[in-house]
Structure 1
Amino acid sequence: MRIDEAADAWATHLRDVRRLSPATVRAYRSDLADLVAVIGDRELADVDLERLREWLWAGTKAGLARSTIGRRTAAVRAFFDWALEAGHIAVDPSLRLMAPKRGRTLPRIATAAAMSDLLDDAARRAADGDPIALRDHAVLELLYGAAIRVSELRGLDLDDLDSQRATVRVLGKGSKERVVPFGLPALRAADAYLVRGRPALAARRPADAPAERAMLLGARGGRISARSVYDVVARTLGPVVGSGTVGPHALRHSAATHLLDGGADLRAVQEMLGHASLGTTQIYTHVSSERLAATYRLAHPRA
């Protein structure tokens, strides 16, 4: 069996048996497509450790981040482990393939004051009733107010929002469902969008298109795209946190840090974020510590 054919079978296994999210399956399949592009679509048995190292080195020379190289290493090791178990190969060539050590980088965040100003600006833009401005305001408030992922935001349907309890039901990684609270500003923004913005966007759908249950709609009346969400965040948050690419996760990082700064329990934040491991959530305690240290250095006379 050749790599490309085996990769398709593995992707089906990940989707149907392991029930991984579509985004994770796409990422892993993309990694294997890149492997084929570098070493060729050869028989699985012809792949050895040196070819795999050649592939990773090609990514390093192309300037890929260590985190990306690490994910590629994990993907190819999982792939060959599956191939060995399925009987497609007799020896796993990836056993000694090592990922580069990942440096611990702290996420970029906006201050609470900057977030307040940003969201106030979004509210002013939405006050005129423009449906896109109303939607963008709701997007920003929900990403920050509920600290949810962009995939969770995009997946929201109309009945996932509980206005009475100010909660939203999301489907997280591994198809795990959780209910997340959000604040009054997010509730107001969501309600304004649902009453005045969404009907106008829904009317832009083709007449023969099926009814759309998505809560957040794009300019043509379909479910909002990930690119649209990224564009909204980059346009509004980018100038606040500095140069470089800024995505929706920066709002999630900011929300988690501000929760901990405000005295929230670490395990409660873990539950809200949907992290499987407490260690993943603990990075935000380091963010708070860094900010405390910076404040000390600036303000203390003996610093």
Structure 2
Amino acid sequence: MSNDALITQFRHTLTDAGRNPATIRQRIGDITRLARTHNDLLGITTVELRRYLANPVWAPAYRKNTTTSIRQFYRWAHTTEQIDHDPAHDLPAVKVPSRPPLNATPENVVLSAFHAGTLRERAILLLAATMGLRRTEIATLHPTARTGNKLRVLGKNDKTRELTLDTLTLDVLKKLEREQGSDSYYFPGRFGGHVHSATVYKWVKQHLGDQWTLHACRRRAATAGYRANKNVFAVQQFLGHASVATTQIYVNVSEEEVADIAQAASLGNTHYARHIAGLPPQQQPDPNSHATFLRDLASITGRAREFGFEIFIR
């Protein structure tokens, strides 16, 4: 069987299994590139696969994704009895070194883009910058995925997660539904179905400028979420990541947040440790100071009303 026929069969298998379209494109693209270097995919050996994957110009993350595609292809070929031995079975695991978090789109850029965008573009921006959706998840989103303020998102590897919509995103989606109806996708294509993920990117990119992307808006959602609850596992579930290591790349932690850890963990917070170190006792806040302030404030505002004045606290 020719390489083209094999790849077509493999694509049909992935499609029949309900794999995400973006995942299918990734797998087929990786195997197609492999086929360009080997005329007979079914005759390839483990040594040849190792040599192919050892390309020195590949980044670890790219090598890992390609290895995953090759493993899946040859597992399928072996399962369907097109080969007697799986040459990818013993391929070594690919380690991807940790890297610092990538920058998130700044608030002023997001707000400026939101102000300049149409209703459709604002919805895309909110789904990325607030709800943390990938552009493929946005492109394929249908009104039937929303029940009240709950949104059901089909992510990578066909994993579904349920998110609770904030009031602004919910309001914008409802407006889209009123304008377009609930039968078509939120972002319908010109000839039926939904728009391509690249179109979603293009619509919003014009308002974000050259430096920032829609995916950087997703990182903005991750960073804001982590700063709100400090729970990286909740952020992982929110973004639909299989590994918390991936989530860590999305979350930007400020220097102040790192510095706060030392202060929170300090033995100097205990009277005994300060005594041993020869330091004076740490001054404790007066538990009655807040109540005293409120009483004084009430007294001042009450006296002001007697003279016809109103005091407003900003």
Q: TM-score, normalised by structure 2?
A: 0.69
Tell me the distance in 1 between the aligned counterparts of 2:33 and 2:220. 33
Q: Which of 108, 113, 124 is the equivalent residue of 1:122?
A: 113
- Stretches of structure 2 lacking an aligned partner (at least 5 in a row): 262-314
Q: Which of 48, 73, 81 is the equivalent residue of 1:51?
A: 48
The answer to whether the 8 Å contact 1:47/1:93 transfers is yes
Tell me the distance in 2 between the aligned counterparts of 1:99 and 1:264. 31
| 2:233 is equivalent to residue 250 of structure 1 | no
The answer to whether the 8 Å contact 1:253/1:284 transfers is yes
Shift of residue 289, structure 1, vs aligned partner: 6.3
The answer to whether the 8 Å contact 2:99/2:249 transfers is no
Distance 1:106 1:294, change over 3 A: farther
Q: Which of 167, 188, 194 is the equivalent residue of 1:217?
A: 188
Shift of residue 259, structure 1, vs aligned partner: 0.7
The answer to whether the 8 Å contact 1:39/1:51 transfers is no
- Note the 1:8-27 alignment, pairs <5 A: 8-17=8-17, 19-27=18-26
- Note the 1:270-281 alignment, pairs <5 A: 270-281=236-247
Q: Which of 214, 235, 241 is the equivalent residue of 2:206?
A: 235
For 2:96, the equivalent position in structure 1 comes to: 102
Shift of residue 247, structure 1, vs aligned partner: 4.1
Aligned length in residues: 261
Identity over aligned pairs, percent: 29
Distance 1:192 1:33, change over 3 A: same
| 2:168 is equivalent to residue 185 of structure 1 | yes
Could you report, residue by residue, the CA deviation over 1:207-240 in whole angstroms, capped at 9, with x for unpaired residues?
A: xxxx96111235788633211222244333455x
The answer to whether the 8 Å contact 2:140/2:195 transfers is no
Could you report, residue by residue, the CA deviation over 1:27-54 in whole angstroms, capped at 9, with x for unpaired residues?
A: 11111111111222x261x312343245
Shift of residue 176, structure 1, vs aligned partner: 3.3
Distance 1:32 1:214, change over 3 A: same
Distance 1:93 1:100, change over 3 A: same
**Secondary structure at the counterpart of residue 162 of structure 2:** strand
Distance 1:118 1:192, change over 3 A: farther
Tell me the distance in 1 between the aligned counterparts of 2:195 and 2:255. 36
One-letter code of the match for 2:21? Answer: P
The answer to whether the 8 Å contact 1:212/1:222 transfers is no
For 2:36, the equivalent position in structure 1 comes to: 37
Between stretches 47-56 and 76-85, larger displacement belongs to 47-56
One-letter code of the match for 2:4? Answer: D
Could you report, residue by residue, the CA deviation over 1:85-111 in whole angstroms, capped at 9, with x for unpaired residues?
A: 332222333344446542222342326
CA RMSD of aligned residues (A): 3.3
Distance 1:220 1:48, change over 3 A: closer
Q: TM-score, normalised by structure 1?
A: 0.71
Distance 1:125 1:238, change over 3 A: closer
One-letter code of the match for 1:68? Answer: Y
Query: Which of the two has higher C-alpha Rg?
Result: 2
